[in-house]
Each structure stands twice: as C-alpha cells, then as structure tokens.
Amino acid sequence: MRRPGVVQGCGAVWWRAGVRHAGCRSVEPLLGGVLPFDVPVAAVRRRVRQRPAQNPCVTDNRYNEGLGLTYDLPVRGQPLRLTGPLNAHFTVSTRSRDSQLTVRLEDVAPDGSAIQLTAGWLSLSMRHLDRGKSIVRNGMIVQPWHPYTKASQQAMPKDEPVSVDVEIFPASWSIQPGHRLRLAVQTGDFPHLFPPFPQLKDSLGGDVQLWHDPEHPSWITLPTQPS
C-alpha cells in the first residue's frame, strides 16, 4: 500500500496576510493567536477595483494550489463538455478527529493559468452518506446526500483509511482541446470558509492523506455530454 499524496496546510492553522507572490498577496500559516491582517480590507478592495487586470489572483487560481494536490486530465481531439452535478469519491486518512476537504474543478489553459469552474466542501466528521437520498446513475453516485446532523457526525479514526463523497456544485462548461481539466484538493478555503471552534480543535495535529491505490480507490464522477 502507498500513500501518494499529502494535503498540506490542514484546517488547524491560522492565517495572516504576508508575503507578496507574483503580484498578489499570498498567505502563510501562523499557529495560534489572533488573525493579524496587516492590510486593511478597504485598501485591498480599493486596490482590486483600481488594478483588476494586474492582479492574477482574480483570474488565475494556480497561485492558490501550492498547499494541496492537483490532478490533471489533458483534453485532446474534441472538446470535453460538462453539464450537471459532480461527485468526488476519496479514500482519506488523518491523525486528527476531523478536517475539511475543499475540492475545485478548474480549466487549465496552455499557458498554465487556471480558471475555477465549480467547487465542493465537506467536513470529514460529516461524511455519513445516505445512499437512498443520493442521486445514482449507472451504479455511480453523481450527487451525494449527507444528513449534516449531530446524530450523523462521526469522528475520523486515527490513521485509518475511510471513504468520503464530496458533493461538487453543478457546472456547465466546455474544456477545449489543448486545455486540461484539473481537480484540486485542499483542506481549507480561507477566507471563504473557516471551521467553527469545535471542528478547528478536532482538526489540530493531522494532515489529510489521499489514497488512490487498488485497495483504496479515489475517483471523480463527471457529467460529460456529447461534443
């Protein structure tokens, strides 16, 4: 068995604005403390409004992928058309009791720039799946249904691989030949999402490992359409 990927930067870290990278403000981890943003929000908004074309973070998602895993599918010959809901099925393990998965689907141009098409999120402790309420086509789950209740909450077993299904919002897009379809996996989405304190506490101390060997498969269900 092998563990080919580790998603770095788990949801247990705090963040602060800091290092400049390729013309945009990136983030770096800061354990503990408060959130000492060193740039006023109003100043950031004013800068984006004044110079939208010079901020690559607005139109290029690749600068956000350094703390995660990416999987690319080259598109050749005919465009790859996607229309409908998506599901990412992962086998994961972690030392902590909980963590968060952020899954993005992106269109990567030949120059390497990445446009986000859609995304999905899941707290691992809320992974319980009701297959009867999920949408299944040809034996595959295309839209998982999670109760998201206290009764369905399950702590992650330490270092034990478990299966999770991450619902990804529906998308309608055509990936052109020469481009790549990218699946990007991370354990956070700050400032869009930030875990509540109980989940943050349970996420301390463990990276998330993504398995994809024959005994522990991981895959994504794509709603492809004829070109």
pLDDT of 31 strictly over 60: no
Over residues 198-217, mean pLDDT: 82
pLDDT of 53 strictly over 60: no
Mean pLDDT of the chain: 76
Band (104; pLDDT cuts 50, 70, 90)? very high
pLDDT of 74 strictly over 70: yes
Least confident among 27-41, 68-82, 100-114, 160-174: 27-41
Q: CATH number of the domain at 5-12+67-225, please?
A: 2.60.120.260
State the pTM of this model. Answer: 0.71
pLDDT of 23 strictly over 70: no
- DSSP secondary structure, 190-219, as one string: TTTB---HHHHHHTTT--EEEE-BTTB--E
More confident residue, 4 or 206: 206
pLDDT of 164 strictly over 90: yes
